[in-house]
Amino acid sequence: MGRLFVVSLEGKIYSCKHCRTHLALCEDVVSKSFYSRHGKAYLFSKVVNVFSGECEDRAMMTGLHTVADIFCVGCGSIVGWKYETAHDKSQKYKEGKSVLERVKVSGPEGRTYWASHEAQVGSSDADEG
């Protein structure tokens, strides 16, 4: 196995709540109106220090998407998912972008988010209504 290189980010960052590995910059947030089974989630144009799992089709609130779960390279915790393919033309803007679940990351001021009681039980996706 090769040596693990971890990218260090500067500025306001989101990091893994378990091991504090840097994941994304505040300036790369595209939308804060996404939801997962665990509550709120944020869509990012770019994330670092993650690896992807297997791609799978998931029926989400906004339609069928091909996604892959993403995991922290520091500790292996699942931190969100990446959109590989959006099957609906209106959802194509999500392709190549990643979602980090708030409950699984620490915020820019080191604040840890907790699961909300409003967490949705269904499939994960944006609340774009």
Q: What is the pLDDT of residues 87-102, one digit of tens each?
A: 999 999 999 999 999 9
This model's pTM is above 0.85: no
Which class for 24: exposed (0-12), middle (13-18), buried (19 or more C-beta within 10 A)? buried
Q: Which residue has the higher pLDDT, 96 or 3?
A: 96
Dihedral angle computed from the Cα positions of residues 61, 64, 65 and 66, in that order, rounded to the nearest 10 degrees? 140
Cβ atoms 32, 128 nearer than 8 A: no
Rounded-to-integer distance, Cα 104 and Cα 83, Å: 18
| Domain 13-105, classified CATH 2.170.150.20, yes or no | yes
